Structure 1
Amino acid sequence: MMSQGALAGLKVLDFSTLLPGPMATLFLAEAGAEVIKVERPETGEEMRGYVPRWGEDSVNFAMLNRGKKSVALDLKDPVERARLLPLLESADILVDQFRPGVMARLGFAYNDLVRINPGIIYCSITGYGQHGPRHMAAGHDLNYIGDTGLLALSLGTARTPVIPPALIADIAGGTYPAVFNILLALRERDRTGKGACLDIAMADNLFPFLYWAMGEGQAVGDWPGSGDALVTGGSCRYRLYPTADGGFAAVAALEDKFWRAFTDAIGLELELCDDNVDPAATTRRIGELIAAREAAHWAQVFARADCCCSIVKSARQAMADPHFLERGVFEAELTNAAGDVIRALPTPIARPFRRAAQVTETAPRLGQDNDALLAPTGAGGQSTRSNP
């Protein structure tokens, strides 16, 4: 029997845009929930218009919204808003990503909806949360990681400041906390019959990434700076070393057994192997040795030594890696209206809990489900969900 997913039978109303909310609802959809995007007419959510284009919409939109449904209506129009009533009454989960107060002005605040749907789990994802001195401030990922001290731990130099390669706040501070708090709220609803209002602040949720910096700073007064801590480049055991052909060796030989294996493998002189004596000299010499040979040579050396060292891969190389291919990481495919096919975005939903997806899936066309899901114009709709 084909799995419907662990969340089969649950309905999600998705008012979110761009990245944190859409990725969260993608995870829910992958686990079997019915996800209905609520979009504005004509243009839809912002991500549809991003480049590069892939068919009618952006490839970013397609990657984040496969397997969902779409309704398009003008939320500023009270007649149009009324058409959402059946969905609001029957939804199990609502996800929004507006600034604080926007949903309330539309009449969709949690206190409004809980009167018609006591079991609803209402998840709001914002940068700074629903209250606090900065709750109305505009921001993006770089602002959130900058405000929480995370960015300061690995800034690069004044001449070459480093922008992190991932949107840490959006995904790690927004998407993941939203999903696991929604799952916790569902578990609590099973016990109590009551829904919940979840205030997911991306900036708040970054502090677990600073556990070691907070610990060292508070316990011994040693607050790490940029690039000077154990795992941010301050140790010769945990660094990136350029190879002869422009590649990079990712050296993470922190434990002594891996460090000994690494230093033996590269032929580091015995007097430099104790990195407590002259760390700078040890770092320089490792850099010279790694820079003398090409990345392919070191890939073989590190594989034999099994020393927590590897060669940095490009995204293209990683997607062709036999390890990930054998594990089926990229088995799902995505197609568009023109019939083009690419690999779909993998999700962290374990196989026993995933729905049995089609081999190839698409993102929804804007408003494709209006007729099937929305009440007719002028109709308020009847409740389709009994109280849990």
Structure 2
Amino acid sequence: MRFMASYDMMESIRNTNQWLGASTLAMASYPAFAMFPNPALQWLGAWGEVTERTFSRMVVKPDWNLPSFLGENGTDCTVVEEIEIKGAFGDLLHFRVQGRTEPKRKVLLVAPMSGHYATLLRSTVISLLPDCDLYITDWHNARDIPVSAGKFDVEDYTMHLVDYMRHLGPDTHVIAVCQPAPLALVATAYLAEEDPAAQPSTLTLIGGPIDPSAAPTEVTDFGHSVTMGQLEQSMIQQVGFKHAGVGRKVYPGLLQLSSFISMNIEAHKTAFTNQIQRVAKGEAHDHDKHNKFYDEYLAVMDMPAEFYLSTVDRIFKNGEVANNSFTIKGKKVDIGKITTVAVKTVEGTKDDISAPGQCIAALDLCTGLPDSKKASHLEKGAGHYGIFAGNSWRTNIRPLVLDFIDDNEKQTPPGYRTKKPAAKPANKNTAA
């Protein structure tokens, strides 16, 4: 903590840059300057507009803004967001489709708690809504959670998933994206032993670090290159005075964002330079490709310090899920107890966050599951984002996931596609 700027200092730097951008835009837009046209003012105003928007988005939770879609009867179906279960650290959110009467696949989409809001999965949600009765984990920004709410670590996260699965019932299909994949696997194993009747029908794990050492990346290398003491001193800070969570120890979203950007800094520099040029030429608009991407990418949230540190320590350093030694309140959760839940893994050959080999390791851990209940898919040419939200997801992976759900549905209700024969044994892809 002593090796970094304080929480309030980081917020002050962000706020100052937002103010500089807004002030520059206001100055360059001053009507009197129009008497003496100067291209430099256009470029100055463009820089101010892009800068102000960039730094203001870092502290704003994006709206879902889910569009309506054409229903089966030819009418527009609007989507309403409802809180199914409210909690201090996160809510279980239900996307209710108005006017829909035929039952659809009940899907729990487990969003990552890795620095971005659940809205990062907006395109995933939009693609699933026409075919699914969809729920999602909507985690809260730790800076807004009072210290009195207590701690939140990987065990608490796992038990939240257990509670959600119990609430939704055994006809639920769980899809875990990225970071929560190992914890969703543990939650399913916990239910298999403690409450078998509440187990979901299927579990799909997309690009998650089940076994980070199976195919090391920069993310896994970082986890092994520092001690937990160094990590706590350099990454953990206390929330500042202007927020409800004042005093809570967190891994700041602004710090996480700087890490995201540093991993591909040249691409981000080029993107912002090009956007300033487009604004100066009058070619940019509010919902262009750049703004749609960066409005979401720059919107970051703080993570509870206990969750961040325990994730690094238990998932990456000690590999407790990979070694099947994860414990909850001192009791081991045996992944081999999963015997009826069909499990599918999805990976991308160009995933530089969770490389091929890390996620498919889940199938070997499910020793009590027959091969007919296991499946895997390796998407060629897809990066991390592409396997759950990009073109690869929409055109290839999503149909495969829905087929997998239908193949393992206990009872196919009306409105589903025709149920296919049982899935073939898993295709054990090797790391590319």
Q: Kindly name which structure, 1 or 2, has the bigger radius of gyration based on alpha carbons.
A: 1
Relative CO higher for 1 or 2, CA cutoff 8 Å, sep ≥ 6? 1
TM-score range, shorter chain: under 0.3
Structure with bigger helix share is 2
Provide the TM-score with structure 1 as the length reference: 0.24
